[in-house]
Amino acid sequence: MTDPVEVTIDSLGAKGDGLAHHQGKSLYIPYVLEGETVRVSPRGERAELEEIVMSSPDRTEPICPLFERCGGCALQHMARAPYHGWKSALVADALASRGLDAALEPLTGTEPGGRRRAVLAARLIGRRLLFGYHEAKSPRIVDVNHCPVLVPELSALLPRLADFLPLFMTKKGEAKVTLLATDSGIDVSLDHVKDMRGGQDYLKAVELAEELDLARLSANGEILLERRPPQISMGRALVSPPPAAFTQADKGAEDAMAEMVTTAIGPDAKRVIDLFCGSGTFALRLAENAPVWALEGDEAAIKALEKAWRFAPNLKGIKMERRDLFRRPVLAMEMKKFDALVFDPPRAGARAQAEEIAKSDVATVVAVSCNPGTMARDLRILVDGGYRLESVTPVDQFLFSPHVECVAVLRK
Ligand SMILES: C[S@@+](CC[C@H](N)C(=O)[O-])C[C@H]1O[C@@H](n2cnc3c(N)ncnc32)[C@H](O)[C@@H]1O
């Protein structure tokens, strides 16, 4: 271990850690701000914060007592305006690194208490249950019995859920706990837990789900009890997502992004494609105006979309197709009759798909992404194919984390 040293923070890196230099070497330090002078204990290329010697005017009081212990948040100590500026700069830097010159729209913010989906971890240590988020850059779990980022009903559930999780736990390994607050109640999906089929454990689990008034309880992908179908409204439709399936994490962010997508595509589009459509976040809203061809790799998500569409009033047709869009992207020639397209791939982006869109004549393309790096790569492909990058809007879907969502609009 090295003795503490005093350094000044030059900048914040893409993961929210401060970057300083000491004896010609880079040091990454969490929970600091640009311009601050701090005493730190170096450990390799990282350093632990010991003391803030001179703090930044951008520093603010964190809203959670677990901040700096729990790895769920990285940036609660930064005032809102510079925090938004930092997130926007992540997007601007990613675009600039690909030589893209786009006018960045102001960031769409979210508020504490707005996050409706969260994935937590649980582990038994002897008879003691640990249930919460991982520490930053560590497999260790920090017990969390209150989380101000979550919608209040999810935060209130955490200590009550902790009481009944031991029933599901195996002696070894870590369980994954996916929580989703829906319009009809909370949906709990447990993965890497005991097989609950048959026997007393199953009956106890059902009793506990009743006691917690859960909408649905699933274990290892299987629904144990559905007291009410968990439902999320998407435009005129009500979607019941599969257990632990992808859903946008913050309803405010989802609504803002859906509004950006539908406005960019506009009411005059005749036929629209939605790629990586999930359970229909965009397709169901776009189908209020135009027929949609919706493609997605996950069978269960497609089924949820199909059911939501069938019951929704006054929607145009949605043609649904399960397709692996990495291996078999929609080809430019298949896009001939379409005048608008939205694509919202996972973090890896959609290089092969972007190459096909670039060759097409689809007039309006909207790219939605949770990874500015892969988004910038894919936008470069589209711009090289003749698209004009009209706007890019950062969205702070993952409050206080270093992640940022984006919506980019392109025209040809
Ligand atoms: C970021 S989510 C977006 C989902 C949807 N647009 C939404 O807003 O709810 C990415 C989606 O891509 C799907 N996906 C991942 N890999 C895929 C692949 N190779 N082919 C098709 N879909 C894929 C996932 O199942 C997930 O639904």
Instruction: Answer yes or no: is 231 within a domain.
Output: no
CA dihedral in degrees (24, 27, 33, 35; nearest 10)? -10
| Catalytic hit among 70, 73, 277, 370 | 370
Nearest Cα residue to atom 21 of ligand 1: 297
CA of 277 to the centre of ligand 1 (A): 6
Atom index in ligand 1 nearest the CA of residue 324 equals 20
Q: Note whether 146 and 126 are same-domain residues.
A: yes
pLDDT of residue 103: 80
- Interval between CA 125 and ligand 1 midpoint (Å): 35
Here the CATH number for the domain that contains residue 145 is: 2.40.50.1070
CATH number of domain containing 50? 2.40.50.140
Q: 301 C-alpha vs ligand 1 centroid, how far in Å?
A: 9
Q: For the residues of 209-236, what is the DSSP string, one character each?
A: HHHTT-SEEEETTEEEEESS---EEETT
Q: Are 148 and 112 in contact (CB under 8 A)?
A: yes
**End residue of a domain, out of 168, 195, 226:** 226
Does 190 share its domain with 215?
Answer: yes
Q: For residues 5, 11, 14 and 15, what is the CA-based torsion angle, rounded to 10 degrees? A: 30
Shared domain for 243 and 386, answered yes or no, is: yes
Q: Are residues 203 and 295 in the same domain?
A: no
How far is Cα 5 from Cα 200, in angstroms, rounded to an integer? 58
pTM for the structure as a whole: 0.95
For residues 254 and 397, membership in a common domain is answered with yes
Which ligand 1 atom sits closest to the C-alpha of 278? Answer: 27
Q: Whose C-alpha lies nearest to ligand 1, atom 25?
A: 298
Atom of ligand 1 nearest to the CA of 325: 20
* pLDDT score for 378: 98
267 and 391 assigned to the same domain: yes
Do 301 and 378 fall within a single domain?
yes
Provide the residue range defining the domain that includes 91: 83-109+239-411
284 and 402 co-located in one domain? yes
CA of 325 from ligand 1 middle (Å) equals 9
At 204 the pLDDT is 86
**How many domains are there within the chain?**
3
319 & 338 share domain: yes
Question: Residues 221, 370, 409, CA angle at the centre, nearest 5°?
Answer: 130
In a domain, 387, yes or no: yes
Dist. CA 352 → ligand 1 center (Å)? 15
- Which tokens belong to 411? 């025209």
Chosen domain end from 193, 226, 259: 226
How would you write the pLDDT of the chain (412 residues) with one tens digit per residue?
578 999 999 999 989 999 999 988 999 999 999 999 999 999 889 998 999 999 999 999 999 999 999 999 999 999 999 999 999 999 999 999 999 988 899 999 999 999 999 999 999 998 899 999 999 889 999 999 999 999 999 999 999 999 989 999 988 889 999 999 999 999 999 999 998 877 788 888 889 899 999 999 999 999 999 999 999 999 999 999 999 999 999 999 999 999 999 999 999 999 999 999 999 999 999 999 999 999 999 999 999 999 999 999 999 999 999 999 999 999 999 999 999 999 999 999 999 999 999 999 999 999 999 999 999 999 999 999 999 999 999 999 999 999 999 999 999 9
Same domain membership, residue 270 and residue 393: yes
How far is Cα 353 from Cα 379, in angstroms, rounded to an integer?
Answer: 11
Say how far apart CA 265 and CA 364 lie, in whole Å: 6
What six digits make up the tokens of 313?
A: 């009033």
254 Cα nearest atom in ligand 1 = 8
Does 370 participate in catalysis according to the annotation? yes
Q: What is the CATH number of the domain that holds 300?
A: 3.40.50.150
* Whether 44 contacts 25, CB under 8 Å: no
Tokens of residue 328, six digits: 């078999």
Are 404 and 87 spatial neighbours (Cβ–Cβ below 8 Å)?
yes
Please name the helix (run of DSSP H) or strand (run of DSSP E) that holds residue 125, with its range, or none: strand 117-125
Q: Is residue 206 part of a domain?
A: yes
Would you say residue 232 lies in a domain?
no
pLDDT of residue 258: 98
From 192, 226, 260, the end of a domain falls on 226
What is residue 189's predicted lDDT score, i.e. its pLDDT?
A: 97
Establish if 64 belongs to a structural domain.
no
> What span, in angstroms and rounded, lies between the C-alpha atoms of 168 and 189?
11
Tokens at residue 409, please? 């609009």
How many C-beta neighbours within 10 Å does residue 313 have? 6
Pocket test for ligand 1, best of 296, 305, 404 (most atoms within 8 A of CB): 296
pLDDT of residue 1: 59
Which residues sit with their C-beta closer than 6 Å to ligand 1? 246, 248, 276-278, 281-282, 296-298, 301, 324-326, 344-346
Same domain, 264 and 206: no
Q: Is 233 within the bounds of a domain? A: no
The answer to whether position 65 is within a domain reads no
Residues 380 and 316 in one domain: yes
Q: How far is CA 212 from the centre of its chain?
A: 26
Q: Which distant-in-sequence residues (6+ apart) come within 8 Å of 317 by Cβ?
A: 287, 291, 292
